[in-house]
Amino acid sequence: MPEWVESIIRVAIAIGFVLTTVLVLIWLERKVIGHIQQRLGPMRTGFHGFLQSPADAVKLLVKEDIIPAAADRWAFQLAPALVFVPIFLTVVSIPFTRTLVVRNLDLGLFYVFAISSISIVGIVMAGWASGNKYALLGSVRAGAQMVSYEIPLVFSILGVAMVAGSLNLETIVDAQRGLWYIVLQPVGMFIFLVASLAELNRTPFDIPVAESEVVGGPYVEYSGIRWGVFFLSEYANTFIISALAAVVFLAGWRGPLLPGWLWFLIKTYAIILIIFWFRATLPRLRIDQLMTFAWKLLLPLAFVNLLITGLYLVYDWPRWILFVASVAVLAVASRLVYVVGRA
Amino acid sequence: MAESRLETVDMFINMGPQHPSTHGVFRMVLTIDGEQIVDMKPHIGYLHRGVEKLAEGLRYREVTVLLDRTDYLAALNNELPYVMALEKLLDVKVPERAEYIRVLVCELNRIASHLMFYGAFGADAGATTPFMYAFRDREEIQHFFEAVTGGRLMHNYFRVGGVRYDLPEDWRERLTKLIPHLRKGIVDCERLLSDNEIFLNRTIGVGQISAADAIDYGLTGPNLRACGVRLDLRRDQPYSVYPKLEFDVPTRSRGDCYDRYLLRVEEMRQSLRIVEQCLEQMPDGPSLGEVPRVIRPKEGEVYVGTENPRGEYGIYLVSRGGDYPYRVKVRAPSFCNLMALNEMMRGCYIADCVLILGSIDIVLGEVDR
């Protein structure tokens, strides 16, 4: 088999996997949040509503495709693809196990962030092209938010890259033999989770799509499968970010007894469930508070994390010092949240 | 001359009447500079049905049906001032049991209304769960209402001289089950939002109004008490059996969204206290007094104001003899409270404006009437 055929098959499998995962995630979120809110969630389609997502997908496919008269036709039609494609491209370098990976890149970590940040363009484009003021407001919010949070996100990962000495995701997992990076980089993990929530536009950072304010933001004019594509990309992104966190901080496929891919899925879904849990619990921040939080708290915190990680590497401290120092930093920061937030 | 032709202008944005968080069909035309609000023009009237005029064409007994449909979240509280006004005109005595039943259902309706506020306010702040929690508990109240009045929303329960039906046989069991359920529900609600740091940041200091301004704008009810003015008609112009019942009138001092929120939660507790006392003190006797078969009050006019969940709900009733009221004027608390909206919204963010509107707790059915 020539190499290019094999590549295509691998990519097709990866995309197929992510698409099915998205359907499961949508169902899972509705069930989880339903039960948190003391109701059942979808129950009618299939066993415990398991077929709800496919049913929704079919519904979206057969819906009429409406392009508003005020919209910029080409940009409006192009925007969903611009959001969708980069997110699916990032799947390429996520290692499910050592062998289950489309292509292991030496700059894997860098690649994921570089590609996924393109999708912001699509969102801003969607908002602008809709010819709707709510959409415009939402997309401007999205632009401001996602650009701001990209920075702490990248800096949070930098600590891991320093400790592991590589940007190759496989090497990073191998470096976690015996000790997961959640122990060495708790600050990094914290910043990563918070900032990626903002990247995903999820509660409590769902400001760009806030239903009670801008009624769905950039997506307000979209209907049918175009809207479906945005929806799909959002959940695909949730999965990828969680998978990345599992790989980088929770040692990916490493774990006793169970096969590697199962460990990987368990860790990924644990993080996904935490994200769902946030959604059911927290109200939404205001845009200025969001910015304050990113620039005055998360970014300095990321720098402090880099500093202590650097000191640990230079002076060859034992690992427990890094752990204790990180926890101390986290404790101070959790107090600072209140001070900075209230100001 | 290479002069830039770009200039920045403020953007107009139309919020409502079709918008998920305008609590019905309220419409605001916002002038915004980025995320900040420069100016706000409210528009009302999308739900105007002419309730006051319609009432002039109905017999006295039939008017409660219309009043149910003004503040539909607290229908029983609206019927109360009307039947009280009519009783004053007719000089009818109400049996004590009927008074207790009225207070009991009114206070339960207040809790239901405040729960609705709680859920909607949570949704305005972007949290999804408060709504479900609130509706879980509100549903229990609705079940009780179903048993008592036969209706869930539009009760048409109060009559001149009493109430339409006596309480159902098992009302004591139902109520003794309902009270602890609600008490626990309120605790759940509080634990979900009241100490949440994000929620605190979003609401403290937002939509602030001073006590003096609040009085000038004619605010009543929780919105006024949140500014520190202790005015509650149940205590200050006692009516029905309220003087025999023990309850506090909570106040807060800052007059911002958070205070308005917290005050309502506290009011739910106080209402629950009243309900408990009604359960203990409920006397026996008839639930409907001696009332003339044909209601034809003598000429005259009367105003009765009562404490609605939203403030002073008053009925100004004029009779010129005959079978029909000459005039039924409703003093609608939401309408008056809405007047302060512009004052509260000065210089706030778009996200705040949704919250501030929610914190006033308007019901458009009553604003537009």
Residue range of the domain that includes A182: 3-342
Q: Are A287 and B352 a contacting pair at CB < 8 A? A: no
Q: Are B193 and A283 a contacting pair at CB < 8 A? A: yes
In chain B, where are the structural domains located? 59-368
Q: Are A284 and B11 a contacting pair at CB < 8 A? A: no
Q: HSE-up of A264 (CA within 13 Å, CB side)?
A: 21
Per-residue confidence band for A294, with pLDDT thresholds at 50, 70 and 90: confident
The continuous run of DSSP H or E covering B330 comes out as strand B327-331
Does the pLDDT value for residue B362 go beyond 70? yes
The region of weakest confidence among A39-53, B22-36, B208-222 is B22-36
Q: Are A38 and B196 a contacting pair at CB < 8 A? A: no
Specify whether the CB–CB gap between B165 and B287 falls below 8 A: yes
Does the pLDDT value for residue B236 go beyond 90? no
The region of weakest confidence among A121-130, A191-200, B22-31 is B22-31
| Cα gap A92→A1, rounded to integer Å | 20
Q: Are A287 and B349 a contacting pair at CB < 8 A? A: yes
The mean pLDDT value of chain B amounts to 87
Q: Are A281 and B132 a contacting pair at CB < 8 A? A: no
ipTM: 0.83
Query: Which residue of A lies nearest to B136 if distances are taken between CA atoms?
Result: A38
Q: In chain B, which among 95-124 make CB contacts under 8 A with chain A?
A: 122-124
pTM of the model: 0.88
Per-residue confidence band for A341, with pLDDT thresholds at 50, 70 and 90: low
Task: Give the bridge partners for B328, in sequence order.
Answer: B317
Determine the average pLDDT of the residues in B112-132.
Answer: 90
Mutate one of B181, B201, B356 to test the A interface: name it (highest A CB count within 10 A): B201
Q: Are A284 and B126 a contacting pair at CB < 8 A? A: yes
| Cα gap A183→A163, rounded to integer Å | 12
Digit-coded pLDDT (tens) for A300-311: 899 999 998 998
Option in A141, A215, A284 nearest B125 (CB):
A284
Non-local (6+) Cβ contacts of A256 within 8 A are: none
Digit-coded pLDDT (tens) for B258-283: 999 999 999 999 999 999 998 888 88
Q: Are B354 and A213 a contacting pair at CB < 8 A? A: yes
pLDDT attached to residue A342: 64
pLDDT attached to residue B45: 86
Non-local (6+) Cβ contacts of A10 within 8 A are: A102, A103
Determine the average pLDDT of the residues in A255-272.
Answer: 88
Centroid of chain to Cα A195: 9
Determine the average pLDDT of the residues in B202-222.
Answer: 88
Helices (H), chain B: 51-55, 63-68, 75-90, 96-124, 129-149, 171-193, 197-203, 211-217, 222-225, 233-236, 257-281, 333-338, 341-345, 350-360, 364-368
Option in A215, A282, A288 nearest B198 (CB):
A282
Q: Which two tokens stand for residue B41?
A: 């023009």
Specify whether the CB–CB gap between A82 and A125 falls below 8 A: yes
Digit-coded pLDDT (tens) for A33-46: 999 988 888 888 88
Strands (E), A137-249: none
| Number of domains observed in the structure of chain A | 1
Distance (Å) from the C-alpha of residue A144 to the closest C-alpha of chain B?
12
Per-residue confidence band for A209, with pLDDT thresholds at 50, 70 and 90: confident
Distance (Å) from the C-alpha of residue B102 to the closest C-alpha of chain A?
32
Option in B14, B35, B126 nearest A212 (CB):
B126
> CA of B202: how far to CAs of A93, A299, A318, A342, B344, in Å?
40, 22, 43, 10, 15
Q: Are B132 and A342 a contacting pair at CB < 8 A? A: no
Q: Are B199 and A283 a contacting pair at CB < 8 A? A: yes
Distance (Å) from the C-alpha of residue A263 to the closest C-alpha of chain B?
31
Mutate one of A212, A214, A338 to test the B interface: name it (highest B CB count within 10 A): A212
Digit-coded pLDDT (tens) for A61-80: 899 888 888 888 888 989 99
Does the pLDDT value for residue A31 go beyond 80? yes
List CB contacts (< 8 A) between A206 and chain B: 126
Task: Give the bridge partners for B11, in sequence order.
Answer: B32
List CB contacts (< 8 A) between B21 and chain A: 211-213
Fold of B59-368: Cytochrome-c3 Hydrogenase; chain B (1.10.645)
Digit-coded pLDDT (tens) for B161-181: 888 888 888 888 889 999 999
pLDDT attached to residue A268: 92
